[in-house]
Structure 1
Amino acid sequence: MQLENPSTSASELTLLPVMSWMRFAKDLYDGRIKQICILSDLERVKSEAEELRQLHAASTTESEDTRSAKTKKERFDGQSWDSLKASPFYDVLREHKDALPDEIPADLPQDKGIQHEIDLVPGKKYCVTRQWPQP
């Protein structure tokens, strides 16, 4: 349906023919729908907007407090060998400590610009790995 001059009164808009959700979704996806009008109760919209505003304010305050409570270094220091002593996996981890880093870095390592290529050869029990500096 195309309207040259869409009506602005609620009574006229509610008399328009109803469209199924499937048809609406298909027309929206195909780009046939150019404009959407949503009818809603003004008081309900205002109260929902206020609830969202309060939720957003609460979550922003919470996340800032959480971030400021512990720095990255403090969080990663909490994962030291001493803090793992109570873990049931402590003995296994100590046994394989040569494969684990001595200190957990607080940030990701700097990119060294090395690309890796792995060739898996069908029928073989090994793979060939090459690395070279990025251009």
Structure 2
Amino acid sequence: MPQSKRFLRDLHSDKIKQICVLVTEDEYVADNQSAQVFAENERVLSSSSMDNSVLDEKTRIERYTSQSWESLQTNPLYKDSVEFKDVFPETVPCELPKEKGTRHEIEMKSDSKNSVMKQWPLPREQVLAIDKFFADRLAAGHVRESTSPHSAPTFGVRKATGGWRIVHAFNKLNAATVPAQTPIPRKDVIIDGVAKSTISSITYLIDGLYHIPMRDGLPVHGSKHSERSDSG
């Protein structure tokens, strides 16, 4: 059997637990910022798939139960929350939100070039999770196949509940875009703003990538999902 086929067979059967790739500095790390991302992802990928930060089954059940609608029945805002229950679904609807006349745009710097970063190898478990995530989103119409000239690496970070959080290394692409004039406030700014308040609320957008459509014909069109996993 050719070595390439034997390698793929062992990789798919999980006999190969770790892969080390040797590359030149000029080939893989173009600047200090890329080096920092590379080092961070080497740390993530070399860590155990199930480390101490992952909650045990009992703790996960207790955590989900404490966040259920039933647990909020004694909350003074329960009645109002139930009235707008459809606004905060527990699962992502298999359809796009209603068109509201707002489409997201990304303004590129005038002297910027195509942002291309190579995908580093990922553990098989992460590849399967990423592929399933985008297959489900594609079937639901939340994402489309990208024709963008830009690309960014994708990897997974283990959640405390045991699943995978899909992460995209957009540092190089972000450096080529014009910063938003209304940036997201920092945590300390938010805390200072509600210091003297008696009631505060936080809205969590589940998979926020599909809530605001991308403008058609955008140069970085669908940049939220123009990344590539190991399987493409």
TM-score by length of 2: 0.20
Q: Which has the higher contact order (CA 8 A, sep 6+)?
A: 2
* Structure with greater strand percent: 1
* Structure number with larger C-alpha Rg: 1
* Structure with greater helix percent: 1
TM-score by length of 1: 0.31
